[in-house]
Amino acid sequence: MVHQDPDVEQLRRTVTPFLAELRAKSYPEQREMFDAAMGGEPLPEGVELQALDLSGVVAEKIIHPRAAAGKALLFLHGGGYVIGSIKTNRSLLSRLAVAADVTGYHIDYRLAPEHPYPAALEDAFSAYRAILASGVKPENLIVGGESAGGNLATALLLKVRDSGLPQPAGLYLLSPWLDMSTTGETYDRVGARDPITSRDAMRVYAAAFLGDRRDDAYTSPVRADLSGLPLIMIQVGTEEVLLSDSLTFVNRAALAGQGVRLDVWSGMPHIWPAFHAAVRAGRPAIEEAGAWMRSRLGLGS
């Protein structure tokens, strides 16, 4: 029996017509509409924003009074690789940074279809190296992302490994999109209940992102060799078509000898912590993610 959360039901009534209107528009119009809808969320008290350039990549630093010196989170926004920005990610990242007692970093990586794969991965890799070059030690850094940003965060650490660079202290994934094939069981089992996305939507995003490139282990990490990554935490809901991505990924990670924590939240939709103002279950999810990050960074549980 599926748990019916009243906050999620209200979100469903609100977000369904919004997303139908958004997806009928051009990508530039979608980006503007999405930024306007998600970019106005208030930030926690005491949070300050600092514009950055990380090796040519537009970025932003989230600073707050509780941040432990030298401890950081690089968090990558979602949006199917075609929409989303620093503006849409700012509220969620600021709350994760406060919960984890860290300084937050995020980037405006290049978006498809104008900039298909591997543009976003190149930008994330440049930003990662720039953060390390700024003095943040890898053992004091968490890398994370939500939805397509979870795909990008995982691909980034695969590229970091393959390039011989040091891994961060942990990888945090929220409702990650990890398989471009859109063939997971939950597309059929959960598709009618997912208020945020669908197989059709993800296929459109995948085609825009891949362009004329073939899907590979960086674009679909469920098929990658996952050895050599840091400890991983995944939060995913039962009401999202991407649930199978996480289940398959966790199985492969465990078989590769990786330590991985999977938290499946009953009744929760895609990226529900991003809707923390409306879906109250998003707040404890943020706190649990923050506690895991603090533990990985030696700041206590």
Residue 224 is assigned to a structural domain of this protein: yes
Residue 57 lies inside a defined structural domain of this protein: yes
How far is Cα 285 from Cα 235, in angstroms, rounded to an integer? 8
The reply to whether 147 belongs to the active site is yes
Task: State the residue range of the domain holding 95.
Answer: 6-296
94 catalytic per annotation = no
Helical packing angle, 119-133 and 148-162, nearest 10°: 60
| CA 86 – CA 102 distance, rounded (Å) | 18
pTM recorded for the entire structure? 0.97
**Is 169 part of any domain?**
yes
| Peptide linkage before 118 cis (omega within 30 of 0) | yes
Asked if 146 and 174 touch (Cβ cutoff 8 Å), the reply is yes
pLDDT at position 269 is 96
Whether residue 1 lies inside any domain: the answer is no
Set 240, 244, 246, 276: catalytic member: 240
Q: Kindly report, residue by residue over 75-102, the tens digit of the pLDDT.
A: 999 999 999 999 999 999 999 999 999 9
Of residues 64, 77, 270, 276, which has the active-site annotation? 270
Question: Among 94, 147, 198, 220, which one carries the catalytic annotation?
Answer: 147
Give the pLDDT of residue 2. 60
pLDDT digits (tens, 9 = 90+) for 240-273: 999 999 999 999 999 999 999 999 999 999 999 9
CB 271 within 8 A of CB 243: no
In a domain, 274, yes or no: yes
- Report yes or no: 165 and 230 within 8 Å, Cβ to Cβ: no
pLDDT of residue 233: 98
Specify whether the CB–CB gap between 97 and 294 falls below 8 A.
no
In three-state secondary structure terms, 155 is helix
| 30 residue type, one letter | Q
What's the total number of domains in the chain?
A: 1
Q: Strands of 231-237's sheet, edge to edge?
A: 48-54, 57-63, 103-107, 72-76, 141-146, 170-174, 231-237, 260-265
Any idea what the CATH number is for the domain that residue 54 is in?
3.40.50.1820
